[in-house]
Each structure stands twice: as C-alpha cells, then as structure tokens.
Amino acid sequence: MSCLPDPRLPTGPLATAWRRTRDGLPLISPLRKRQLRIVVVGSGLAGSAAAASLAEQGYQVQLVTFHDSPRRAHSVAAQGGINAAKNYANDGDSVERLFADTLKGGDFRAREAGCYRLAEISGAIIDQCVAQGVPFAREYGGTLANRNFGGSQVSRTFYARGQTGQQLLYGAYQALMRQVAAGRVELLTRREMLELVTLDGVARGVVCRNLLSGELETYTANAVVLASGGYTNVYYLSTNALKSNASAIWRAHLEGALFANPCFTQIHPTCIPSGDAYQSKLTLMSESLRNDGRVWLPLKAGDRRPPDQIPEAERDYFLERQYPSYGNMVPRDVASRRARELCDGGHGVGQGGRSVYLDFHDAIASQGSEIIETRYGNLFEMYQRITGVDPMAAPMRIYPAPHYTMGGLWVDYHLMSSIPGLFVLGEANFSEHGANRLGASALMQGLADGYFIAPATVTAWLAEQGATAIGPDDPAVREACLEAGQRAQGRIEALLAVAGTRPVDSFHRALGQLMLEHCGIIRSAAGLQAGLAAVAELEAQFQRDLRVPGGAHEPNGELEKALRLSDFFGLAQLMLRDALAREESCGAHFREEHQSSGGEAVRDDQHFAHIAAWEHRPGAAPIRHQEPLSFSLLQPSTRNYQ
Ligand SMILES: Cc1cc2nc3c(=O)[nH]c(=O)nc-3n(C[C@H](O)[C@H](O)[C@H](O)COP(=O)(O)OP(=O)(O)OC[C@H]3O[C@@H](n4cnc5c(N)ncnc54)[C@H](O)[C@@H]3O)c2cc1C
C-alpha cells in the first residue's frame, strides 16, 4: 500500500450523518447470518459488547481473551464514570456541547464526524446499560446522578461509586453470557492472539497460543474484530492492568494495518506516586476526586513541613490560580504538565519531591464528612490501604502517570482498519479522542463501538462480500493459517533460543524508563532522537541477552511477557518517530520547542491538522501518511481553560 484508504467520512450535515450512513448500510438476512463466523479478540467493554451484539444478530462468534474470565478485562478497573449528553443535571448540556468538548479537548486532532457520532450515541449507551441493570448512582428521587469531569463545565458523568467500569463490564458480561448459553458465542479463554491471518490482504482469522498447553491454535472467520485495549504498559509503570499490551494491534500493523497517532499518550495527573524501583504497577485515583479535592503545593520551594503546618497564605492552589475558570477540573494534559513543572522547580512534596497534594479538607468542612465519604468512600479506602494515610484526615499525594493511549490502529468511519475485514474497537483503535482524551469518554467510546457501531458496519462489510466470497474454510485460507502459525512458532523459538542472563522484566523496566524520559509529559527533538537510539540499543541487548526459563509447550508466563515485550520495542520506536515528526504541541503531545511564553501548547494547524497514519515496511523505515482533518461545525481555536 502506498496511500491511505478512504476514511469513508459522511458528507452533509453532521447532525444526521450517522443516521443517514446507518440507514444506507446493506443488511443480511438472519438465515445467512447464521452461516457467517466472526472472531472477536478481547473481552473488555468493547469486545464483550461487540461479541454480545453480533451474536444477538445471529452470527457465530468466537471470543478470544487471555483472561480466565471476561470479567478480568482491564475495563473492570475504570473508576470515575461514563459521559452522556442527557442534560439530567439541567445545566445546559446537549449533544452539540459534548461534541464540542470532545473535539476541543482533543485539541482538534480528531475527526469531527466521529466526535459528533460519539456524542449522539452517548445517550443510548446509558439507556442500554440501565436496562441491563447497571447500578448507576441515583438521586433521592430516583433519577440518575451526575458529576463533573475535567475539560467540561457541565455535569454529565454517570457513575457507580468508584466502580463504574466494573459495573458496566458486568452488564456487558451478562449480555455476553446469555449468548454463550444460547450457543452463539464460543468463549475461548486463556488464549493469546499472536498473529493475524490474512489472505490477499483481507483478514481471515487469528493464530493464538493456548496459555495452558502452549499449543498454537488458529481460528478462521469471515471478519475479525480486534478489541484488545491500549498500550500504555510500554512505559512499564502505568495505571493499566499488568497484562495489557500491544501485541494484537502490533501484529496486525506488521501485516499491513496502518497505525495512527502512536505518540498520543495520556499521562493522568492523579495517580498514587510510585514507591520503589521494583513496583510493577501504579494506581489511579479517579479524576472525579478533583470535583471536591483541591490541588496545591507549598508556595516556597523546598518546604518540607507536613501539610497541616503550612498555613493557607503559604499554599499555592496552582490550578485554581492559573485556570480560574476550570480550576482543578482542567483537562488531564494541562494538570499533569503544571504538576510536573512545579515539582521540577522544587515545590513537590513527598519522596523525591515528586507529588502534589489533593486536599479534601475544605469539602469536608463545607459539605460534611458523610457526603464526601459516600461520594468517594471506596477510592479513599483504596488510597489508605496502599499508603497508610486516611484522605479524610490528611491530603492525598498524587503524581502524573501513563494511563491511556489515544493512538492505535487507524480505522475509517466504519471502524474498519486498512486491512479489509479487520475491525478495531475501543482503546485499540485511534478513535475520537484526538491528542487528548477527556475523562469518562473512553468507556463511552468502547461501548459506542461495541454495542452500536460495529454491529451495523461489520454487517455491511459482510453483506458487500456477497455469498460467493471466499469462506473461512477455503484451502487458501488454511494455507494462510499455516504460514501465520509458522511465523508465531518462529518467534517463540527465537526467544527461547537466546538463552541469555537477563529476565524480561528488567528489559521492560529499562524500556519504560527510556520512554518516560524521552516520550513522556514533555518531549523535544533532541530527547526523541536520543530515545530512538537508546531503544534500538536496548532491543539489540534484548535479542542478545534475554533469558526465558521453561519451554513452549507448557504454561509459561515469562515467554508470554517476552513475546509482548518484543512487540513493545517496535511500537516504542514508532511512538518516538511519530512524536519527532509532529513538530507542534497539541493536547498530551507537548514539544518543548512549541510552547507559548506562558508554557501552553502551540499547535501548528497549517502543517499538522492531520492524523498521522504509519505504514510498516519490512526492513525499511515506515511511511507516514497524512489524513487531513477539516472542520465545519467548530473551527479550531486555541484551547483556553482560563
Ligand atoms: C485505572 C483506570 C481507570 C479508568 N477510569 C476510567 C473512567 O472512569 N472512565 C472512562 O471512560 N475510562 C476510564 N479508563 C479507561 C478505560 O477503562 C479503558 O480505556 C477501557 O476500559 C478500554 O476498554 P477496551 O474494551 O478497549 O479494552 P480492555 O478493557 O483493555 O480489554 C482488552 C481485552 O483484550 C484482551 N486482549 C488483549 N490482547 C490480547 C491478545 N493478544 N489475545 C487475546 N486477548 C487479548 C484482554 O484479555 C482484554 O480482555 C480507566 C482506565 C484505568 C486504567
């Protein structure tokens, strides 16, 4: 491929674009659907929702996940909530406002049509989840409660205490298990997808490693849906579930799927700071806490007094000072950068001066401890268990940490990648978030993709293939499976054959440190170039000195990690390249060469109002394609949260 496929964006008014598109999509009769097979990879919100919805339509679905139960998917960890433009709070919200906040929050690096569709579908998601029995928080009168999240001035976030992801996932899981019981979904747990099977450039199935037996298994299908989540664990220390990785999308990329905006990584401002060098994961403190918690640091650099001994006049509520209009609810990229700057300047508190206070004292004094407890009880409990400090009595200490990836496989308006028949949903695609994802919008996007968009567009693609299209059991497909299986086998054998001295985790930690240093909250040309050289050198060491104990034909956690890390090396280099090529600052991508005198991001709309979509070329540098972005309803403006 040497050009970008048609993104199939709708023409005409945005307000009716999705309805017009959907109404124009071809359908398939229920009888025919029963003869068609779809493989879904991933059992998080996007994958479970898609598998349940496609099976409900009548397709034969196989769902592959490396967990022992779909309920363990990383989506279970989502705490704060899910957005929807319902205007229940009667504070002026609308589809147009959610659309505008999403597009502006993403710093105008997302497609307008996608953002509009997301806002439009958001209401139906809440209806569907309520109907499934998801226990959203309610007001005294029984209506659903809302709270506020960063980057918006209305309360549109629906939540279930601090366990929104868990409750939504259980809703999707119920819907999925109904289809399992009906025999329409085959649940294939403890399988990890290692390769995508393609024939003549069309997706035809996946090769998986059975994590219990070590055997390689192939699953062929008329369409493949990847919903394998994000890749923040490239930083090693992140808020993501330990096993979250990039292998499924990276392998598809190597088979020809374009990778879009890989460098757009969200660093979340409110995580519990890391304790020691051998920690393997960071814990998020939901953004919803900033509704009532106030962020501050000592005015004087190097002030080591405990927080209760620092008088009001000697505190700097820096977000409220710098952004009077949004205050503590500025978007995540802004809050993270400001916290880091002050910590770099010596104002930080705690171990190594790398944290800021999130203080509930004023909220408790004005609203009472009972209200604050009810609102954030389980988050406080989690914090106390990890740090030993009760946030009701003393401020939390928080610091930014890698959290979410806005980049992912390039998809068109139908969520199809540049490989025909390969659809990508949820955090695995590059989606609607542009250069920055606003809080509570990932759950919304994953469920919009899974429940509402893919069921329509996958059907349309299958309908367009016609009855004579090559089937999954065709001999040529079998041949392609064999070839993909040999690729997987070759990689496993090569990793085991290194027989070096250094364990996978030590390489992963080193990669994470390099990525944080060179491709983290702040980037520069010199840093990115140094990062590229250092990651390539580390990868060479990995290939020379890796030690994977055990064999291929048995459960082997170290081998699983080594396979994932070998993919992270390739992805890390693509992230660095992408960050280097984007000579502007936008959203979470902050290049220090491109900032205003006040330290705000300076976009270059003339040269970079596009999606960067990377094409892999074996043995040669990848090609950077550009999909231009155009705007009709809302013109790009400088993000201003003051
Ligand atoms: C701590 C935390 C809190 C969050 N809070 C919020 C919030 O309040 N609101 C919000 O909107 N968003 C939140 N997010 C983000 C949100 O949770 C995720 O973006 C979203 O859940 C991703 O869903 P997903 O279905 O795309 O992927 P995931 O839930 O990550 O699921 C991926 C699935 O793919 C499977 N998989 C991956 N690779 C393979 C492979 N190679 N083979 C087989 N299976 C594979 C995994 O087994 C898993 O089942 C939070 C994230 C974190 C980390």
pLDDT at 403: 94
pLDDT of residue 278: 81
**CB within 8 A of 295, min separation 6: which ones?**
317, 318, 319, 320, 328, 335, 339, 356, 357, 358, 359, 398
pLDDT reported for residue 468? 59
Which of 67, 75, 425 has most ligand 1 atoms within 8 Å of CB, for mutation?
Answer: 75
* 154 contacts 64 by C-beta, under 8 angstroms: no
Pairing of strands 60-64, 185-188: parallel
pLDDT of amino acid 1: 53
Comparing CA positions, the residue from 403, 408, 437 lying closest to residue 77 is 403
The 3-state secondary structure of 159-207 reads CCCCCHHHHHHHHHHHHHHHHHHCCCEEEECCEEEEEEEEECCEEEEEE
Query: Cα angle at 642 between 431 and 628, to 5 degrees?
Result: 30
Helix, strand or coil for residue 224?
A: strand
**Strand 259-260 vs strand 265-271: parallel, antiparallel, or unpaired?**
unpaired
227 Cβ closer than 6 Å to some ligand 1 atom? yes
- What's the 214 CA to ligand 1 centre distance in angstroms? 25
**Helix, strand, coil proportions of the chain in percent (round to 5)?**
45, 15, 40
Tell me the C-alpha distance between 409 and 336, whole Å.
26
**Ligand 1 centroid to residue 77 C-alpha, Å:** 8
CA nearest to 389, candidates 362, 311, 398, 276 = 398
Q: How high is the pLDDT of residue 291?
A: 85
Rg for the chain, CA atoms, rounded: 24
CB 145 within 8 A of CB 139: yes
**Two structure tokens written together for 267:** 């660093």
Cross-strand bridge partners of residue 185? 61
pLDDT for position 203: 96
Rounded Cα distance between 149 and 118, Å, is 17
Distance between CA atoms of residues 274 and 501, nearest Å: 27
Q: Please tell me the distance from the alpha carbon of residue 584 to that of residue 603, in angstroms, as a whole number.
A: 5
- Determine the distance separating the centroid of ligand 1 and the alpha carbon of 634, expressed in angstroms: 30
List CB contacts of 402: < 8 A, sequence separation 6 or more.
232, 235, 237, 238, 239, 240, 265, 266, 267, 268, 516, 520
| Nearest ligand 1 atom to alpha carbon 74 | 29
Residue 518: which of 234, 109, 106 has the closest Cα? 234
Q: Are 55 and 181 in contact (CB under 8 A)?
A: no
Token pair belonging to 548: 């994977």
Q: If you measure from the C-alpha of residue 73 to the centroid of ligand 1, how many angstroms do you get, rounded to a whole number? A: 6
**To test ligand 1's pocket by mutation, which of 101, 148, 228 has the most ligand atoms within 8 angstroms of CB?**
228
Q: Which of 424, 427, 431 to mutate to test the pocket of ligand 1 (most atoms within 8 A of CB)?
A: 427
CA atoms of 557 and 223, how far apart (whole Å): 30
Q: How far apart are CA 176 and CA 185, in angstroms?
A: 8
Helix (H, G, I), strand (E, B) or coil at 28: coil
Which numbered atom of ligand 1 lies nearest the CA of 67?
Answer: 47
The per-residue pLDDT for range 379-429, each reduced to its tens digit, is 899 999 999 999 999 999 999 999 999 999 999 999 999 999 999 999 999
Which residue has the least CA distance to atom 35 on ligand 1? 42
Token digits of residue 595? 């900032």
> What pLDDT score does 288 carry?
81
SS3 555: coil
Cα 311 to middle of ligand 1, angstroms: 42
Find the 241 Cα to ligand 1 centroid distance in Å. Answer: 8
Question: Which of 438, 357, 541, 513 is CA-nearest to residue 100?
Answer: 438
CA distance 565 to 570: 9
- The position carrying tokens 């390249």 is 577
Residue nearest to atom 30 of ligand 1 (CA): 229
Average pLDDT of the chain, as a whole number: 95
Nearest to 42 by CA among 428, 421, 431: 428
Whether residue 49 has its Cβ less than 6 Å from ligand 1: no
Yes or no: say if 91 and 154 are a contact pair by the CB < 8 Å rule: yes
How many A from CA of 426 to the centre of ligand 1?
A: 8
CA distance 284 to 163: 12
pTM for the model:
0.96
pLDDT at 639: 78
Residues of the chain with pLDDT under 70: 1-2, 467-469
Asked whether the beta carbons of 99 and 121 are under 8 A apart, the reply is: no
Q: How far is the CA of 26 from the centre of ligand 1 (A)?
A: 31
Separation between Cα atoms, residue 76 and residue 74, nearest integer Å: 5
> What's the distance, Cα to Cα, between the start and end of the chain in Å?
45
Residue 450, ligand 1, Cβ within 6 A: no
- Give the span between the Cα atoms of 152 and 432, in whole angstroms: 16
Q: How many A from CA of 240 to the centre of ligand 1?
A: 8
Per-residue H/E/C for 557-604 = HHHHHHHHHHHHHHHHHHHHHHHHHCCCCECCECECCCECCCCCECCC
pLDDT of residue 80: 85
Q: How far apart are CA 332 and CA 336, in angstroms?
A: 6
Calculate how far, in angstroms, residue 44's C-alpha sits from the geometric centre of ligand 1.
6
pLDDT for the residue numbered 467: 64
Does the Cβ of 157 fall within 6 Å of ligand 1?
no
Residues 6+ apart with CB under 8 A from 486: none
Q: What count of other Cβ atoms lies within 10 Å of the Cβ of residue 550?
A: 13
Closest CA to 55 of 30, 19, 72, 73: 30
**189: CA distance to ligand 1 center in Å?**
16
Does any ligand 1 atom lie closer than 6 A to the CB of residue 404? yes
- Tell me which residue of 231, 224, 188 sits closest to 204, measured CA to CA: 224
